[in-house]
Structure 1
Amino acid sequence: MSAGAVTDRSAGPLLGSPNRLKLAVFSANMAGGANLTYAPEAPRATWPESVGIARAAEAAGFEALIPVARWRGMADPARRDAHRSFESFSWAAGIAAVTERIQVFATFHIPVVHPVSAAKQIATVDHIAGGRFAVNVVAGWNEDEFRMFGLEQREHDDRYAVADEWMSFLGRIWAAEDEFDFDGRFFKARGVLSEPKPVQRARPVVMNAGFSPAGRDFAAKHADLTFAMVPDAAAAARIVPGLKADVQRRHDRKLMVFAGAHVVCAATEDAARREYERMVDEVGDKDAAANAIRLLIPNSGSADFDAEGMAASAIAGFFALPLVGTPDSVVAQMTELADAGLDGLALSWLDYQAGIDQYARELRPRLVEAGLREG
């Protein structure tokens, strides 16, 4: 791609996808993936594994790869392997270089990345990706990780006030042709100038997973897509259409809404249910689940689910909604979620490579037949 080439993010692999239900692979850069588990078949966070998952997802037609940002895991510190993860900007740059079509995200915590640094990092990876890069911006919620940086966790709504100014500063960096000074409430800078700009103009694709009132406001203002933390299709039907309508009314634009989903698919319903129970009861890390719940509940501002079942949800999918059943049943559940207004799902499995292979073999043809995917 030439130095002056630009692309329109709305025509990219994710926003420009013709598929009614878009699909992403979630958390492939973290040991365990989206699972809190002792299972040996879960991801180990090795580079050959990451490349294999990315290429398999691209070949299977997935629109995107969304890594997590973790500086430490949820398990006991003695379980060193469970804390292993690849830093997502570096991971995304490497994955972008070995793929051709799929949208590649990085996830990062706003409190630990300065806008000037982020502007350069994002532009660099977008050039490597040829305009396929995207960012999942997180206001921050994990106190244990912030302590590693010597930072104190701000109050929930204050975190989004910082994030709002952060995004405004970032956007100005990319828009400016001449150096400028920035004098905000949280950020002050002199002589700011950054080249190159991203390939995507005026900016790359932005995702945000905040679902509290403050998080929704932030996503409505700054993001192209957001995550809905919903336990099932009925909840999605209650929440998603209103969220989209509110964004259209207040900002005169469309916002895609995704949800996380954890797939446990087998030849029979009983076999799928038994596998889910094995994942939770036999190989699940219950101590790590308790730690995740401890961190999430007081800090998310949007977690209002009953405690019962939360440990299982944390272990299998890290609070994603479960898609458990036969291939026909899983596709039926995905259809219900699309009918409820969701634009896409960020999928996880216990064994990612096997799950993507199963998707290509069993689910993809059924999704095409159901009208959710074109191929």
Structure 2
Amino acid sequence: MTDTSKTPIQFAYWVPNVSGGLVVSKIEQRTSWDIDYNRKLAQIAEANGFEYALSQIRFTAGYGAEFQHEPVAFTHALLAATTKLKVIAAILPGPWNPAVAAKQLATIDQLTGGRVAVNIVSGWFKGEFTAIGEHWLEHDERYRRSEEFIRALKGIWTTDNFSFRGDFYRFTDYTLRPKPLQQPHPEIFQGGSSRAARDMAARVSDWYFTNGNNVEGIRAQIEDLRAKAAAEGRTVKVGVNAFIIARDTEEEARAVLDDIIAQADPEAVNAFGDAAKQAGRASPEGEGNWAKSTFEDLVQYNDGFKTNLIGTPKQIAERIVELKAAGVDLVLSAFLHFQEEIEYFGQNVLPLVRALEDVRTPETV
């Protein structure tokens, strides 16, 4: 396995291009889904040490998300407002065809100096597929379709006269020009905690996102994933979801978490939980995302409280370095008040992380 201990851990944030914030709670969230807020947020994140942002994909209202901006267009707008930040556009196989996605993203990559990436979302929300007339596949079939989608993207982006014969997608002698600037192609992310998700990541993805979890749980997932990837002659980087509550004292941070949960919207949380757990439990082993999440976990969409980046800057920095030691390459973060909290994180937490990395990085392996 490649040693990555000397590579600094990276940071991404969830783009709030969907209304309602990142917790299903009636607590105040000084966060907005509009473009002016998000342009400024991207600039703040870029100035405060964040390397990536991840736009969200939703087609229909629900679970507090009444309004949703389309992620590919929104991604391009954020890239146009920044100079270094890489923005990951979420794409859902089914509504998107890989030829259209490949062409959209290649153009954006050309226009923004090679800063776009893609997150392939296999789908968890059956009601959304039904609403827009898309066929809802069984759990492992969704991942099989996503794998074909990624293979098609890679083929279109890296070869001329591309031909492919799959169960879901077919191409005959297709050449895309211009191709993306990034070589060999824009980075490909995917999520999921199921066996099918990890196996797909091992075979075809550059990055694997997992829901929030404790260090032991994350380490077990990463060891499993990387063993499978090594058997394929590949390496895969790992990002973990975390809802970050950084305050001057641990008491303040814990009080914020208590308030978020106390003001949770039970109807919205339970509705989300029913849909999400159906998707997780539908995996043959019953271990997909959200399969074992509690009500409190589900108040944050991606089990972000479980990662426990809640406390003082020092506590959070130490826990981030522990995640790195477990194999995490990137923390995908969410916040209650995005602009001010990303700035606080960049000024108060990130310098401590970098200092701890220097101290804990061995000179020899």
> Normalising to structure 1: TM-score of the pair?
0.86
The 1:230–1:263 alpha-carbon spacing in structure 2 relative to 1, beyond 3 Å, is closer
Aligned partner letter, 2:222: V
In the alignment, what sits opposite 1:137? 120
Alignment partners' CA distance in 1, 2:20 and 2:202: 32
Alignment partners' CA distance in 2, 1:48 and 1:98: 10
In the alignment, what sits opposite 1:66? 54
Task: Indicate yes or no: 2:233 matched with 1:233.
Answer: no
Give 1:230-269 correspondences, 5 Å limit.
Answer: 230-248=212-230, 250-269=231-250
Residues 221-264 of structure 1: CA deviation (Å, up to 9, x unaligned): 2211101234211212233233223312x122211111000011
SS of match in other structure, 2:298: helix
Aligned partner letter, 2:36: P
Alignment partners' CA distance in 1, 2:292 and 2:139: 21
The 1:189–1:19 alpha-carbon spacing in structure 2 relative to 1, beyond 3 Å, is closer
Alignment partners' CA distance in 1, 2:13 and 2:193: 20
Q: Does structure 2 conserve the Cα–Cα contact (< 8 Å) formed by 1:181 and 1:192?
A: yes
The 1:305–1:149 alpha-carbon spacing in structure 2 relative to 1, beyond 3 Å, is closer
SS of match in other structure, 2:309: strand
SS of match in other structure, 2:117: strand
Aligned partner letter, 2:232: H
Q: Does structure 2 conserve the Cα–Cα contact (< 8 Å) formed by 1:269 and 1:325?
A: yes
- Count of residue pairs brought into register by the alignment: 348
Alignment partners' CA distance in 2, 1:305 and 1:139: 16
In the alignment, what sits opposite 1:149? 132
Gaps of 5+ in 2: 360-365
Deviation at 1:287, TM superposition (A): 1.6
The 1:264–1:73 alpha-carbon spacing in structure 2 relative to 1, beyond 3 Å, is farther
Give 1:163-174 correspondences, 5 Å limit.
Answer: 163-174=146-157
Task: Indicate yes or no: 2:288 matched with 1:295.
Answer: no
Alignment partners' CA distance in 2, 1:189 and 1:224: 23
Give 1:350-361 correspondences, 5 Å limit.
Answer: 350-361=336-347
Task: Indicate yes or no: 2:28 matched with 1:28.
Answer: no
Give 1:166-315 correspondences, 5 Å limit.
Answer: 166-178=149-161, 182-189=164-171, 192-248=174-230, 250-282=231-263, 284-300=264-280, 301=283, 302-303=288-289, 306-307=292-293, 310-315=294-299
Give 1:11-90 correspondences, 5 Å limit.
Answer: 19-75=7-63, 82-90=65-73
Aligned partner letter, 1:245: A
In the alignment, what sits opposite 2:363? none
Deviation at 1:146, TM superposition (A): 0.6
Deviation at 1:277, TM superposition (A): 0.6
**Range 26-35 or range 88-97, more displaced:** 26-35
Task: Indicate yes or no: 2:99 matched with 1:116.
Answer: yes
Task: Indicate yes or no: 2:312 matched with 1:330.
Answer: no
Alignment partners' CA distance in 1, 2:326 and 2:135: 39
Aligned partner letter, 1:149: I
SS of match in other structure, 2:197: helix
SS of match in other structure, 1:65: strand
Q: Does structure 2 conserve the Cα–Cα contact (< 8 Å) formed by 1:209 and 1:227?
A: yes
The 1:187–1:341 alpha-carbon spacing in structure 2 relative to 1, beyond 3 Å, is closer
Which of 152, 158, 176 is the matching residue for 2:141? 158
Gaps of 5+ in 1: 1-15
Query: CA-atom RMSD, angstroms?
Result: 2.2
Q: Does structure 2 conserve the Cα–Cα contact (< 8 Å) formed by 1:106 and 1:135?
A: yes
SS of match in other structure, 1:200: coil
In the alignment, what sits opposite 1:9? none
Deviation at 1:138, TM superposition (A): 1.2
> Normalising to structure 2: TM-score of the pair?
0.88
Q: Does structure 2 conserve the Cα–Cα contact (< 8 Å) formed by 1:32 and 1:350?
A: no
In the alignment, what sits opposite 1:10? none
SS of match in other structure, 1:245: helix
The 1:224–1:190 alpha-carbon spacing in structure 2 relative to 1, beyond 3 Å, is closer
